[in-house]
Amino acid sequence: MSTGEWGIYIVLYFWLAGVGGGAFLLALATESERLKRVGAWLAFLGVVVGALLLIVDLGHPERFWHLLVSYRPVSVMWLGSLFLFLDGIALFLLLILRSWPRLLVWAAAILTLLVIAYTGVLLMATTRPFWAASPLVPWIFLASAFATGAAILTFFGARFDRVLIVFGLLEALFVLLHLIWTYPVAERAISALLTGELAWAFWGFVLLGWLVPLLLEVGRRAPALAALLVLLGGFLLRYFVVYAGQIGYLI
């Protein structure tokens, strides 16, 4: 019998929302109008495709509208879907407007931050020790969002060398702290990451998704390859965080 664990759709959604949202927020900090529009497009695509993935993941996708007619602010799932919905509207308005009202840009930026951050709160508010025992999951996801957001903008002609290095380092620091912090209560999850069934994702992230691109970035070599690897790393990171939390419980 299937246990209904949060699986690959959730992983993909976390990743897409992070990549697109991170790209949009970073692009806002630049002077380039073109880059800001690219960022808004990426965030919009992340939100729309992400929302579709979330709906497909439901046991009853045709009932997704039940979320929109309910009011359950204590439910992170409800609040997250509200942020996702509002962020989609704000980004859509940015895409169709020729000049961007200041207030709308602020609203879209804050909603985008909330969309990235709530995914961490969602995992923290569970009984899975690997997600809940440390407050760092939102920190990991946010750091990864900025690193992967910078990476994808590389393909649109921007070079965020410092962002890539700084947030790559921060992300690794948060992951390391998280593993140490949760180890006493989530030993099973962490041994799965280090030597068990999720070792491919964890070490894949550490080596291919983090160390190699970091060396390339520091050496200022092959920026496209480095960016591609950072994006891969962001995916592997979401993958192992989501699956490790459920090992011994639902998988």
Partner 1 sequence: MPKANDYAILFDTSYCTGCRACQVGCKQWNDLPADPTENRGSYDSSYLSAHTWLKMGYFEGLDQKGEVYWDFVRTSCMHCSQAACVEACPTGAMNYREGGIVTVDTGWCIGCRNCVQACPYDAVHYDEKTGVVHKCTMCYDRVANGLEPACVKACPTGALRFGRYGELKAAAEERVRALKADGYAEANVYGLKEMGGTHVLYVLLRQPATYGMVLAPKTQAKKVAEGWLSAGIAAAAMGAFAWFVARREEISGGKE
Q: How far is the CB of 67 from partner 1 (least distance, A)?
A: 6
Q: Residue 8 phi/psi, 5° resolution?
A: -65, -35
Q: Which is nearer to partner 1, 44 or 118 (CB)?
A: 118
Q: Which is nearer to partner 1, 84 or 190 (CB)?
A: 84
Tokens of 46: 């992340």
Q: Which is nearer to partner 1, 142 or 193 (CB)?
A: 142
Q: How far is the CB of 149 from partner 1 (least distance, A)?
A: 8
Contacts of residues 245-250 at CB distance under 8 Å and 24 or more positions apart, as own/partner, are 245/123, 245/126, 245/128, 245/130, 245/131, 245/189, 246/5, 246/6, 246/128, 247/130, 247/188, 247/189, 247/192, 247/196, 247/197, 247/198, 248/188, 248/189, 249/128, 250/3, 250/4, 250/5
Q: Which is nearer to partner 1, 160 or 204 (CB)?
A: 160
Residue 95 · residue 42 · CB < 8 Å: no
Q: How far is the CB of 28 from partner 1 (least distance, A)?
A: 8
Q: How far is the CB of 203 from partner 1 (least distance, A)?
A: 26
Q: How far is the CB of 158 from partner 1 (least distance, A)?
A: 5
Rounded CA-CA distance 115/121 in Å is 10
Residues that bind partner 1 (CB under 8 A): 1-6, 22, 25-26, 28-35, 57-60, 63-64, 66-67, 70, 72, 74-78, 81, 109, 113-114, 116-118, 120-122, 124-128, 132, 135-136, 138-139, 142-143, 146, 150, 157-163, 166-167, 170, 249-250
Residue 251 · residue 23 · CB < 8 Å: no
Q: Which is nearer to partner 1, 77 or 207 (CB)?
A: 77
Q: How far is the CB of 108 from partner 1 (least distance, A)?
A: 13
Give, in order, the Cα–Cα distances in Å from 61 to each of 53, 64, 66, 112: 10, 5, 10, 24
Q: Which is nearer to partner 1, 173 or 208 (CB)?
A: 173
